[in-house]
Amino acid sequence: MMKEGTYNKNVVVVIAAVAATGGLLFGFDTGVISGAIPFFQQNFQLSNSMIENITTAGLLGAVIGAAFTGRLSDIFGRKKTILTAAVIFVVGAVWSGWAPNAHVLMYARLFIGLAIGISSFSVPLYIAEISPSKIRGRLVSLFQLLITIGILVSYLSDLAFANNNDVESWRPMLYAGVVPGLILLIGILFLPETPRWLISKGREEEGRRILKRIEEPEIVEKSIQQIKTEIEKDKERPNFSEVFRPWLRNALIIAVGIMFVQQFVGINTVIYYSPKIFMIAGFEGARAGIWGSVSVGVVNVLFTILSLFLIDKIGRRKLYFIGLSGIIISLLALGLVFALHTQLGDTGKWLAIVFVWIYIAFFAISLGPLGWLIISEVFPLRIRGIGTSIGSLSNWFFNGLVAFTFFKIIKLFTVHGTGIITQEKLYDAATNSFVTKAVDNGNPAGAFWFYAAIGILAIIWGYFYLPETKGVSLEKIEEHWRQGKKPRDLKE
């Protein structure tokens, strides 16, 4: 029996790892653009607003992909949805690397954004439905691990391909996305559909066959019964605007809420703008800034690995509170470092980088994996596709909002006369060359304290709304909502 169990576990780990490659593409494609920008800006002689359009196009694509394909994954299945994303990733990478002008590049980024949006909800959903309850958290967190590896790989590939003497360096950076795209495309062809989706479509025998490969033998029949019971109960209910039914209000609040918290503690200000933050802190030159971000990428990956071991042991709630406390403290400290910028002198920049590492480490063991895990767990089977896509859509929306407002928030909270001045190489359209200019960056202290304040509110929210889903079967979670019970009363 013991041996059988181990064997099953290995099969699921392989299945989950292949599916999680979708996370690698998610991370790679969000990260890669930052290093490519200076090159195609010069190559196509673009204004800053065109650069913003190209970057936003990817984000817009993600929102559209997450919003409109949830229903499709309920109708056509999880596997076909991921397959579609894989095809788009490959075609999109070739298309964007090849783009002869800025407009084509913009459409290609929009297209690839679709795949990012689709994979960001369908991959965690697929993994959650195919995993045994006991290790579900760890397996879904594989998705987050691959996101972080993708971000790191994109920083490294930017470093590797960036050639100051070649304005077309951005092309190989974008082409590189073909490789993980093909891995996902070929891998997914060999993966099974999820047993839960099959059974919901009346394909019980196929579902049973797959469950036997992945679940402990003694609970296969019990799982099938539970899935069927929940499907029967779902049938009794009316079929309109299901996600917004009162008994699912908590599931909806939890999915949107966790993504709000994940994004509004400011994670992507660090992921997207860390070179800039490090330059403001006193590191000189863009290259030093990029090395700073590589170090952030490494810490992110290492602590996400640690989270794989914690999430099914310590549980979701404890990790949430531990993670958030660390995040709040490091944000407060970071703010202080920038507020005392002049007094701290050269020590300031080292303190800044250390607190960014601490911040990322706490994020990586908690909110990073938790966001994607929770949205894949809280919805009932019949609408899990739509529900998870709403969670993912919220993620992209809040992500865009934070990225779009970061520098404005810095400006808003900068006390007059405390702005930090740096010397930066900027593109000058008039002369078509880079010139060194003094830039007043404002002071990010207030912005970091603002994100810390949101973190404090998030502790209160989490106390009331975050359910402990550790070790609980997806069917039991559904039953919990049906009985109208409170999120924090859910237990193994």
Please say which residue, 84 or 269, places its beta carbon nearer to ligand BGC.
Answer: 269
C-alpha angle with apex 84: 228 to 230, nearest 5 degrees?
10
Other residues' Cβ atoms within 10 Å of the Cβ of residue 240: 7
In the three-class reduction of DSSP (H, G, I as helix; E, B as strand; rest coil), residue 424 is classed as: strand
Decide: is 267 part of the binding site for ligand BGC (CB under 6 A).
yes
Could you tell me the smallest distance in angstroms from the CB atom of residue 395 to ligand BGC?
A: 5
Nearer to ligand BGC, 145 or 224 (CB): 145
Both tokens of 60, joined, read 């817009």
**Closest distance between ligand BGC and the C-beta of residue 339, in Å?**
26
Backbone angles phi, psi at 437, to 5 degrees: -130, 155
Determine phi and psi for 173, rounding to 5 degrees.
-60, -45
CA distance 139 to 145: 10
- The residues near 343 (Cβ < 8 Å, ≥ 6 apart) are none
Binding window for ligand BGC (CB under 6 A); candidates: 101-109, 141-149, 186-194, 201-209: 141-149
Q: Is 147 in the site for ligand BGC (CB under 6 A)?
A: yes
Min dist. Cβ of residue 151 to ligand BGC (A): 6
Contact flag: residue 268 with ligand BGC (CB under 6 A) = yes
Position 266 contacts ligand BGC (CB under 6 A):
no
Q: Among residues 84 and 262, whose Cβ is nearest to ligand BGC?
A: 262
**Residue 122 binding ligand BGC, by CB under 6 A:** no
Q: How far apart are CA 328 and CA 49, in angstroms?
A: 34
Shortest Cβ 34–ligand BGC spacing (Å): 12
148 binds ligand BGC (CB under 6 A): yes
213 touches 221 (CB < 8 A): no
Contact 223, 8 (CB under 8 A): no
* Stretch of 133-141, 145-153, 280-288, 380-388 contacting ligand BGC, by CB under 6 A: 145-153
**Residue 88: C-alpha distances to residues 109, 113, 116 (Å):** 11, 9, 9
**Minimum distance of ligand BGC from residue 31's CB (angstroms):** 8
Question: Segment contacting ligand BGC (CB under 6 A): 58-66, 184-192, 262-270, 420-428?
Answer: 262-270
- Which listed range, 144-152, 175-183, 413-421, 434-442, lies at the site for ligand BGC (CB under 6 A)? 144-152
Residue 271 binding ligand BGC, by CB under 6 A = yes
Cβ at position 268, least distance to ligand BGC in Å: 5
84 contacts ligand BGC (rule: CB under 6 A): no
**What SS3 state is found at 444?**
coil
Interface with ligand BGC includes 144 (CB under 6 A)?
yes
Phi, psi of 246 (to 5 degrees): -55, -40
Q: Strand, helix or coil at 492?
A: coil
Per-position x/- string for 386-415, each x denoting binding to ligand BGC as judged by CB under 6 A, each - no binding: ---------x---x----------------
CA 55 – CA 275 distance, rounded (Å): 17
- Residue (169 or 262) nearer to ligand BGC, CB: 262
Q: In the stretch 342-381, what mask flags binding to ligand BGC with x, by CB under 6 A?
A: --------------------------x--x----------
Residue keyed to tokens 């109208």: 484
Tell me the H-state helices in 131-192: 136-161, 170-175, 178-189
398: left (phi over 0), alpha (psi -120 to 50) or beta: alpha
Q: Is 274 in the site for ligand BGC (CB under 6 A)?
A: no
Give the total of residues touching ligand BGC (CB under 6 A): 13
The answer to whether residues 23 and 144 touch, using CB atoms and an 8 Å cutoff, is: yes
Residue 433 DSSP SS3: strand
Number of H helices, E strands in the chain: 21, 2
User: Min. distance of Cβ 48 from ligand BGC in angstroms?
Assistant: 23
In DSSP terms, which residues pair with 428 in a beta bridge? 433
Residues 285-344 that bind ligand BGC (CB under 6 A): 300
Closer to ligand BGC by CB, 259 or 420: give it: 259
User: Minimum distance between the CB of residue 424 and ligand BGC, rounded to whole angstroms?
Assistant: 24
Which 207-236 positions form the footprint of ligand BGC (CB under 6 A)?
Answer: none
Identity of the residue, 62 or 339, whose beta carbon is nearer to ligand BGC in the bound complex: 62
- Structure-block tokens of residue 163: 């050639």
Residues in touch with ligand BGC (CB under 6 A): 144, 147-148, 151, 262, 267-268, 271, 300, 368, 371, 395, 399
